[in-house]
Structure 1
């Protein structure tokens, strides 16, 4: 048996809202051990919705609809489903009573258009909505097919799923197994290179391993199916360890770990502190560090030195070196790191200077050229050059630079 998620709403096709309902339901189905292979987004159009139902009902045994259950004319989900299966709609008085009661609690009177929400296919069960006015349905229009409908409001949908749909599915025998996943994270290695290193693991069946890449980061998702989450974790643990050993320093964490949180734990472990000096990233590095709760234990602050005068006056960058080498250079990056470390009195100093674009590049110093400086507790300093390329956006170059700066510090903390 497999499930299919069908989200109804033209606003999602236009990109006006993010389809968070599909993500939530996918996670919940995995927890119940219910496989699902397809997700569909369709606009508020009866004929297109019928076409989706025709395809989905032939390949999936559970169809989960979200959206299109309100009182307005474009809320067509329930009546379209009924029409597809040649089933009349019937008005359920208990739904009208529930809607009227909720309106009265809010000091308002139910409008005639709300009666539409009380029309459900004949033979369908009501899927109660504890907070909103639009109920859903649980319906088996034909043998081997179960339909759930939910409103599009995420908070309403989630509560209805947890309180009614999950118990219903468990009664059908689902929930005896779970699909648990762990996401391993890597920085400093291309997806293709990592995939080659772990190629033998990509053909496993339980657990399975699949690669992903996004904004410079590479991930390996390990998923296991077992009777309990604990049992699934036992299946995952040895594969996790083997993949981590293969990747070496390119592996930095899993699941909720970030480069900033991992760096923070290493600094806390060694009872050391960090300060930053930023030019092209404009405070992004400091922001990334302070997104971790408790970062004040090790992160003392930073200097956004966009103008050269700030580099000279606050970070003690040599004016002659600035004139000779330019602000985007290894020399200046190193002096920025040394300067902020000295000024703030921290163990480590980390700096970024570069050309984020889309303007400002030259033939010798193109857009995407970035230097990272790292001043160490013993007073030594080194720099790292990155050439992100002219085809990348300003925001992506800044993101790659901040993450790479944290990654260089992480590697030093692990290998010194």
Structure 2
């Protein structure tokens, strides 16, 4: 039996509100072992809402609605469902009394429009809302079809889900199994290349493996269905180990790990410190590092050397190098890394200089050209050239540059362990 999430509200379609309800419900369905393959967002329109429901009932047996339960004319979920299934709306005196009581507690008078919230389809059961005035319903208008409705306010919906919906779904036999997933993360390899390497794993029945990419990062999601979390993890563990081995150095972490957090762990293990010098990323690299709690133990600080004079005065970059080779060059990247490492007294110095666009490029130095410098306390300096392409946005080039710089340091730290 599969579930489908239907979120109602024109404000969601306009992007005025982030749809956190769908994410929460998807996670909760997985915890109960309930598969769900579709999510739909529909505006406050009777015709379109009916169309969405008609499609949903042909492919899913549990329909979960959020939104459209308020007192205003554009709150249409309850009456639309009743009309679609040809059932009258019936006033529930307990709901009406509850709404009036909540208004009295708040020192307000219930308006006539609030009475609308007391009407539910005949045969439906009230799904109580302890925190708000919009109750939901639990309803089986036809055999083997279960409808649950919730208000759009996340805090109200989540409490109603835990207190009433979960026990109800467990009476249907759900909750005996869970769906648990682990996400492996890779940097420095294309999604297609990684998919080819792990192709033998992509058709497994349980656990399943699926690749996907996001802003330069490639992920492999391993998803298992089992009777307990421990059993699911036992299914996942050997698959994850094999995939990590195949990924090699491109594999850097899993689930909540980030390149910055992994680099931080490696720096602490080596009792090492880091400083950064940034140009085109404008502090983005430093932000990634300091987003990690406890980063002050290994990250000493950085210099945003956007102007060439700052590169010279604060980082000790040779003015002649800037004149002869330009700020976006291997030489300048190396000197920036050396300069910040020396001035801040750290084990490592990491630098970025490049052309993030959309303008500023030339035939010899196009938009997307980035140099990364990596300096060690022993005097060794490495530089890396990357060409991210002129068709990528400024923000993406900056993001890729910062992540690739962290990845270069990650690989070097791992290499130094052996």
TM-score bin, normalised by smaller chain: over 0.9
Structure 2 partner of 1:342:
342
Structure 1 partner of 2:400:
400
Structure 2 partner of 1:302:
302
SS in 2 for 1:161: helix
Structure 1 partner of 2:142:
142
Q: Show CA shifts across 1:213-235 (max 9, x none).
A: 01000000000000001100000
Q: Which runs of 5+ in 1 are unaligned?
A: none
Query: Counterparts of 2:398 and 2:31 in 1: how far apart (Å)?
Result: 37
Query: Counterparts of 2:229 and 2:379 in 1: how far apart (Å)?
Result: 48
SS in 1 for 2:252: strand
Q: Show CA shifts across 1:118-169 (max 9, x none).
A: 1100111110111111000000111101100001111111111111100111
Tell me how far 1:341 sits from its aligned partner: 0.2
Tell me how far 1:15 sits from its aligned partner: 2.0
Tell me how far 1:316 sits from its aligned partner: 0.4
Structure 1 partner of 2:228:
228
SS in 2 for 1:249: helix
Task: Give the length in aligned residue pairs.
Answer: 416
Tell me how far 1:377 sits from its aligned partner: 2.6
Query: Counterparts of 1:218 and 1:243 in 2: how far apart (Å)?
Result: 13
Tell me how far 1:299 sits from its aligned partner: 0.2
Structure 2 partner of 1:380:
380
**Corresponding position: 1:181 with 2:184:** no
Structure 1 partner of 2:48:
48
Structure 1 partner of 2:259:
259
Which aligned runs of 4 or more in structure 1 are off by greater than 3 angstroms? none
Q: Show CA shifts across 1:265-299 (max 9, x none).
A: 00011110000000000000000000000000000
Tell me how far 1:210 sits from its aligned partner: 0.2
Deviating more after overlay: 226-235 vs 51-60: 51-60
Structure 2 partner of 1:208:
208
TM-score, length-normalised on structure 1?
A: 0.99
Structure 2 partner of 1:109:
109
Structure 1 partner of 2:323:
323
Structure 2 partner of 1:34:
34
SS in 2 for 1:203: coil
Query: Counterparts of 2:31 and 2:317 in 1: how far apart (Å)?
Result: 55
Query: Counterparts of 1:210 and 1:31 in 2: how far apart (Å)?
Result: 19
Matches within 5 A, 1:73-112: 73-112=73-112
Structure 2 partner of 1:365:
365
Deviating more after overlay: 177-186 vs 376-385: 376-385
Query: Counterparts of 1:120 and 1:104 in 2: how far apart (Å)?
Result: 23
Q: Show CA shifts across 1:47-69 (max 9, x none).
A: 11111111211221111011100
Structure 1 partner of 2:65:
65
